[in-house]
Amino acid sequence: MKRRDRVLPGFGLTLGYTMLYLSIVVLIPISTIFFKAASLSWIQFWTVVLAPRAIAAYKLSFGAALAGGLIDSVFGFVVAWTLVRYEFPLKRLIDVMVDLPFALPTSVAGITLTSLYASNGWIGAWLEPLGVKVAYTPLGIVVALTFVGLPFTVRTLQPVLEDLDKEYEEAAATLGANRLQTFLKVILPALVPAQLTGFALAFARELGEYGSVVFISGNMPFRTEVVPLLIMSKLEQFDYAGATAIAVVMLIIAFSILLLVNGLQKIAGRRLMVT
Amino acid sequence: MGDESELYAFNYSGFPGAESAPTRRSATSDPLAVRIALITVAFLFLGLFLFLPVIAVFIEALRKGTGEYFAAISNAETLSAIRLTLMTAAIAVPLNVSFGLAAAWAITRFEFRGKQLLVTLIDIPFSVSPVIAGMLFVLLLGVRTPIGAWLYDHGIKTIFAEPGIVLATIFVTFPLAARQLIPIMQAVGSEEEQAAIVLGAGGWQSFLRITIPNVKWGLLYGLVLCNARAMGEFGAVSVVSGHVRGYTNTMPLYVEILYNDYQFAAAFAVSSLLTLLAIATLVAKRCLEGRVAPVKKFEQDVPENKAAA
Amino acid sequence: MSIELTNIRKTFGDYVALDNINLNIENGELVALLGLSGSGKTTLLRIIAGLETPDRGEVRFHGEDATSLGVRERHVGFVFQHYALFRHMTVFENVAFGLRVKRRAERPVEAEISRRVHDLLKLVQLDFLGDRYPSQLSGGQRQRVALARTLAVEPKLLLLDEPFGALDAKVRQELRRWLKRLHEEIGITSVFVTHDQEEALELANRVVVMNNGKIEQIGTADEVYHRPANPFVHNFLGNVNLFRGRIENGRVYIGDTPVEIDRTGPRVEGATGTAVLALRPHLIEIIPRPNGRPSFPAIVTSINPAGPQVKVELVAEWGDSVQVDVGHERFEELALSPGARVFLRPKQEKLFVYQI
């Protein structure tokens, strides 16, 4: 870009400041982790990363995030649908509150969910006689993660639902389809990219969640220890090498999901950006 | 010439473009039973996951009576936590907003290679687990690292002290302002600023008098989001603080300490303050969303911007 | 199938979209609803389809009341302005859609569906594009797929909402002719909405001119163009010059020039008062000096050669501006230039008088 082409001033200043700030706040810290991980030998690295306790943590994290993400996808769809399509009392209140998990500090969410689902909690006391224990079990983790991921699915779906042209449904009706057929064959397929994106975002967030989970899980290794808790545990024991190794695994997975989501959105844009 | 307008007056209207578009709804509405069922499911689900916890916070906070409640939120340690929380936000938010403005300006007003990469890099803190975010700074500035040792020798404590908390908070809230400002500055376009330059305004003048007022709602929105996250961050801050009561605790950390100490009512009391903050954030968010969307939509519909898009 | 619309009224809040519409459409006709945006034509089409419900009035198909029937039960084909093709389905799947969602009892077997779809695609000359997605087709091709999709379910009625509005001029012309041939071949009762008067006049058996929720005139292309019922229709279809004039004792005056009236137009014998006189630009003759027939003086203001005709703009003696279309040879004979003083003679048999 020749300097002559820039009418507006400030390119050097703003880009310079941006890069400087970005480097200090993000790039240098992130690279520190990879440097530190590189200081481990391969054997050390794999020993930590594939230790039974770590494997148990991965399974639990993935499983719980998967479950939470699926619940959020299904119910998030219902919430988004009703918010966009129907009128009912308190609708605006609900619309505002959907973002609560974004705004509420995770420790507050954590202690509240724990107290609700503990054996003597409002909900826990009710479920216990039925043989369902929530607090200090993987189920509790799923509950916490569902809470955390909810806004992602709803907010990803809402704009897409709002933009859906009614003409497609009208066309299906003139061709003889009933509401259910129209929904399954015309509306739902158009929502698949948004559904996948919402799920991926919720899943990624839930994988890394700490504050909401640390209280309700009980942190029992091999039983209710998710990966962020495992990392924290190692940090508290000053096992920085171990913590770093596991963190690297998490980061690679998280970045992969980020790339996947970007890719999904590009595909969706290409396929559906047409009359 | 002449009074042709009168000849046309009695029957002419509806000229092309005078489209008043009423909304259409029939033939695409769902049966009543379906609607009621779905709304009920939505209510039950959200009631269970969102409303119940909020109500629980306040009820648990007042479990020992209002006297205890006020004692809990006004004792020295709580005030210290509040102070640290506010200070952290007061530093992190303006810094990240300034970054957001600079980045948005660079990205939306100029063409350069690697622009897309830059945008992706800005999003990184979002994908990083809070625990890892905190750990980054421990690895970078911990006493045993080169930088940390140097700082320690000069009497500067970062990790397990306030500066560390601020740094970790800056990291996790880093993208929030930029992500709001970039699309809105994109939508607003640069014609007005260019006009100002042509009229003789300097860069800063154009920025302060033209750009800022145009993006003010997006700016506020980003600020609100940034602030909420800065005040509410727990995981990252937990790693870098020393959990030393009265010194290195923000409110979310303090809640954890009280809870682990079995001081449930006090923990919920402090939580209630944070919950009120969260609700205020949600309301502010909603109000600002109403202002930001029309700007984005209006600018999108302008023919020049459509051609440019 | 014939359509009878009686006393249709439709409002959206305070906005009156249709005001007391009465219209009968014969079986097999191709009818155009012609008007500007906001005239109510699309609303009327949607009411016929069942996509809107009228506040008052009835819709009857072949004498049977259809007003209470939903969209699905009416078996009408509707082609949307922007086609509304299902993006995630191929062309084949789009056309097959209506057949595949039929009730079990009525649904043909897949082989039969396939045969029908291919026949239709052949009919619309797209049989080699069955596997493509709508995004891979041109506008004209999408339009034809939309048509094929509608015809697949053998509707009794075909409704088209500005079918060619979104296409280039050339493609539009081709598709117009194509649609006319298709209609002649199939013979299905069809109603289409357009704001393009050329399209309406070229395609339709009858034209319904609408304005502000009301019907201004119904007639063949010939009737609405050459025998317009009022100044609106007159001006909407083709250009027209409007003059203020007077009627006195059965004689019509433009300015001060007495003019004989059209024998087929509204009767003004014995009437007295002001009137609006309408004359198309190519139905006025420019003469260098009066020649005995009624004429009035005017001054040339500008000359615009425009393809086959020369459009001459003048100002009449009393200040009204006039446009006259002159053929090239005549124009050369007259040797006009701006500022020239001439006389304008209306071809009397073509003058329309509307009394105010």
Kindly state whether residue B304 falls inside one of the protein's structural domains: yes
In angstroms, the Cα distances linking A168 to A93, A165, B21, C315 are 30, 6, 18, 53
Q: What is the 3-state secondary structure (H, E, C) of C243-303?
A: EEEEEECCEEEECCEEECCCCCCCCCCCCCEEEEEEECHHHEEEECCCCCCCCEEEEEEEE
**From start to end of chain B, where are the E strands?**
none
Count the neighbouring beta carbons within 10 Å of the beta carbon of residue C270.
8
Inter-chain contact C153–A175, Cβ cutoff 8 Å? yes
What CA–CA distance (Å, rounded) separates C235 from B200?
51
Taking alpha carbons only, the member of B177, B176, B127 closest to residue A260 is B127
Inter-chain contact C98–A190, Cβ cutoff 8 Å? no
Nearest to C87 among A177, A178, A274 (CB): A274
Question: What mean pLDDT do residues B219-227 have?
Answer: 92
Kindly state whether residue B54 falls inside one of the protein's structural domains: no
Of the two residues A146 and C173, the one the predictor is more confident about is: A146
Give A60's contacts (C-beta < 8 A, 6+ positions apart).
A138, A141, A224, A225, A226, A227
* Chain-centroid distance, C-alpha B151: 32
Nearest to A170 among C51, C77, C152 (CB): C51
C95-104 pLDDT, tens digit per residue, is 999 898 888 8
Q: What are the chain B neighbours of A115 within 8 Å (beta carbons)? A: 56, 60, 264
Checking if the pLDDT of B272 tops 90, the result is yes
Kindly state whether residue B27 falls inside one of the protein's structural domains: no
Inter-chain contact A274–C84, Cβ cutoff 8 Å? no
Nearest to B4 among C13, C230, C320 (CB): C320
C292-307 pLDDT, tens digit per residue, is 777 788 899 998 988 8
* Chain-centroid distance, C-alpha B215: 15
Give the pLDDT confidence score for residue B153 in this predicted structure.
80
Give the pLDDT confidence score for residue A226 in this predicted structure.
93
Inter-chain contact A122–B121, Cβ cutoff 8 Å? no
Contact (Cβ atoms closer than 8 angstroms) between residue C345 and residue C293: yes
Give one word for C164, left, alpha or beta, with left for phi > 0 and alpha for psi -120 to 50: alpha
Nearest to A171 among C70, C80, C102 (CB): C80
Checking if the pLDDT of C161 tops 60, the result is yes
Inter-chain contact A168–C83, Cβ cutoff 8 Å? no
In angstroms, the Cα distances linking A193 to A84, A153, A262 are 18, 12, 11
- Give percent of chain B with pLDDT exceeding 70: 84
Interface partners of chain B (CB pairs < 8 Å, 3 or more) are: A, C
Strands C309-316 and C296-306: antiparallel
Q: Return the residue of A nearest to B284 by Cα.
A: A96
CB pairs A-C closer than 8 Å: 73
Best B5, B15, B20 member to test C by mutation, with max C CBs in 10 Å, is: B20
Q: What part of C 213-252 touches A (C-beta under 8 Å)?
A: none
Contact (Cβ atoms closer than 8 angstroms) between residue C334 and residue C318: no
Q: Return the residue of B nearest to A259 by Cα.
A: B120
Interface partners of chain C (CB pairs < 8 Å, 3 or more) are: A, B
What CA–CA distance (Å, rounded) separates A69 from C151?
43
**How many domains is chain B built from?**
1
Q: What are the chain C neighbours of B1 within 8 Å (beta carbons)? A: 315, 319-321
Give the pLDDT confidence score for residue C250 in this predicted structure.
66
What CA–CA distance (Å, rounded) separates B14 from A204?
53
What is the nearest CA distance from C63 to chain A, expressed in angstroms?
21
Inter-chain contact B3–C35, Cβ cutoff 8 Å? no
- Give percent of chain C with pLDDT exceeding 90: 34
Give the pLDDT confidence score for residue A268 in this predicted structure.
67
Contact (Cβ atoms closer than 8 angstroms) between residue A15 and residue B106: yes
Q: CB of C82 within 8 Å of any CB in chain A?
A: yes
Q: Which amino acid is at A275?
A: T
Best A163, A166, A170, A174 member to test C by mutation, with max C CBs in 10 Å, is: A174
Q: Return the residue of A nearest to C46 by Cα.
A: A170
**Which pair of tokens denotes residue A192?**
């698949």
**Long-range CB contacts for residues B284-293, cutoff 8 Å, separation at least 24:** B284/B224, B285/A96, B285/A99, B285/A103, B285/B221, B285/B224, B285/B225, B286/A95, B286/A96, B288/B217, B288/B220, B288/B221, B288/B224, B289/B221, B291/B217, B292/B180, B292/B184, B292/B217, B292/B218, B292/B221
Give the pLDDT confidence score for residue B169 in this predicted structure.
94
Give the pLDDT confidence score for residue C259 in this predicted structure.
65
Inter-chain contact C72–A167, Cβ cutoff 8 Å? no
Helix, strand, or coil (residue A47) = helix
**Residues C233, C234, C240: CA angle, nearest 5 degrees:** 145
Nearest to B4 among C36, C46, C242 (CB): C242
Kindly state whether residue B264 falls inside one of the protein's structural domains: yes
Checking if the pLDDT of B304 tops 60, the result is no
Give the pLDDT confidence score for residue A270 in this predicted structure.
58
Structural domains in chain A plus CATH codes: 52-272 (1.10.3720.10)
Give the pLDDT confidence score for residue B309 in this predicted structure.
35
Taking alpha carbons only, the member of B6, A250, B28, B83 closest to residue C242 is B6
Kindly state whether residue B22 falls inside one of the protein's structural domains: no
What CA–CA distance (Å, rounded) separates A100 from A148?
9
Q: What are the chain B neighbours of C278 within 8 Å (beta carbons)? A: none
Global pTM?
0.80
Give the pLDDT confidence score for residue B151 in this predicted structure.
81
Inter-chain contact B28–A173, Cβ cutoff 8 Å? yes
Taking alpha carbons only, the member of C105, C228, A79, C142 closest to residue B45 is A79
Q: Return the residue of C nearest to B3 by Cα.
A: C320
Inter-chain contact A146–B105, Cβ cutoff 8 Å? no
pLDDT along chain A (275 residues), means of 10: 62 89 89 84 88 92 95 96 92 93 94 92 88 90 95 92 90 91 92 90 92 91 91 88 91 86 72 43
Give the pLDDT confidence score for residue C217 in this predicted structure.
92
* pLDDT tier, C350 (very low <50, low <70, confident <90, very high otherwise): low
A50-81 pLDDT, tens digit per residue, is 999 999 999 999 999 999 999 999 999 999 99
In chain A the first and final C-alpha atoms are separated, in Å, by: 36
Strands C64-65 and C189-194: unpaired
Q: Return the residue of C nearest to A180 by Cα.
A: C101
Average pLDDT along chain B: 82
Nearest to A26 among B53, B124, B197 (CB): B124
Taking alpha carbons only, the member of C32, C45, C26, C40 closest to residue C224 is C32
What is the nearest CA distance from A120 to chain B, expressed in angstroms?
13
CATH of the domain at B196: 1.10.3720.10
Checking if the pLDDT of C264 tops 70, the result is no
What is the nearest CA distance from A260 to chain B, expressed in angstroms?
12
Structural domains in chain C plus CATH codes: 3-235 (3.40.50.300), 240-355 (2.40.50.140)
Nearest to C321 among B1, B8, B12 (CB): B1
Inter-chain contact A170–C80, Cβ cutoff 8 Å? yes
Interface partners of chain A (CB pairs < 8 Å, 3 or more) are: B, C
Q: What are the chain B neighbours of C15 within 8 Å (beta carbons)? A: 20, 22
Q: CB of C337 within 8 Å of any CB in chain A?
A: no
Inter-chain contact C84–A168, Cβ cutoff 8 Å? yes
Checking if the pLDDT of B242 tops 70, the result is no
**Which pair of tokens denotes residue C73?**
């039960």
Count the neighbouring beta carbons within 10 Å of the beta carbon of residue A74.
15
Kindly state whether residue B31 falls inside one of the protein's structural domains: no
Of the two residues C241 and A247, the one the predictor is more confident about is: A247
* pLDDT tier, B4 (very low <50, low <70, confident <90, very high otherwise): very low
Nearest to A175 among C51, C134, C149 (CB): C149
Residue B188: which domain range? 66-308
Checking if the pLDDT of B15 tops 50, the result is no
Checking if the pLDDT of C187 tops 70, the result is yes
Q: What is the ipTM of this complex?
A: 0.88
Best B7, B10, B15, B19 member to test C by mutation, with max C CBs in 10 Å, is: B7
Residue A252, beta-bridge partner list: none
Nearest to C82 among A167, A175, A178 (CB): A167
Taking alpha carbons only, the member of B193, B183, B279 closest to residue B222 is B183
Helix, strand, or coil (residue B268) = helix
Q: Return the residue of C nearest to A171 by Cα.
A: C84
Maximum pairwise Cα distance, chain B: 93
Q: What are the chain C neighbours of B24 within 8 Å (beta carbons)? A: 46, 51-52
Give the phi and the psi of residue B190 in degrees, each rounded to 5.
-110, 10
* Chain-centroid distance, C-alpha C346: 27
- Give percent of chain C with pLDDT exceeding 70: 93
Nearest to B197 among A8, A108, A251 (CB): A8
Which strands, in side-by-side order, build the sheet including C257-259? Answer: C257-259, C251-254, C241-248, C273-279, C352-355
Token look-up 């479950």 returns A67
B139-181 pLDDT, tens digit per residue, is 888 777 778 788 878 877 777 788 889 999 999 999 999 988 9
What is the nearest CA distance from C133 to chain A, expressed in angstroms?
9
Kindly state whether residue B156 falls inside one of the protein's structural domains: yes
Of the two residues B194 and C271, the one the predictor is more confident about is: B194
Checking if the pLDDT of C334 tops 90, the result is no
Kindly state whether residue B164 falls inside one of the protein's structural domains: yes
Inter-chain contact A82–B39, Cβ cutoff 8 Å? yes
Of the two residues A126 and B2, the one the predictor is more confident about is: A126
What CA–CA distance (Å, rounded) separates B155 from C78?
79
What is the nearest CA distance from C129 to chain B, expressed in angstroms?
30
Checking if the pLDDT of C271 tops 90, the result is no
Concatenated DSSP letters of C79-93: E-TT----TTS-HHH
Q: What are the chain B neighbours of A262 within 8 Å (beta carbons)? A: 120
Contact (Cβ atoms closer than 8 angstroms) between residue B51 and residue A97: yes
Give A3's contacts (C-beta < 8 A, 6+ positions apart).
none
What is the nearest CA distance from B10 to chain A, expressed in angstroms?
36
Taking alpha carbons only, the member of B20, B19, B27 closest to residue C53 is B27
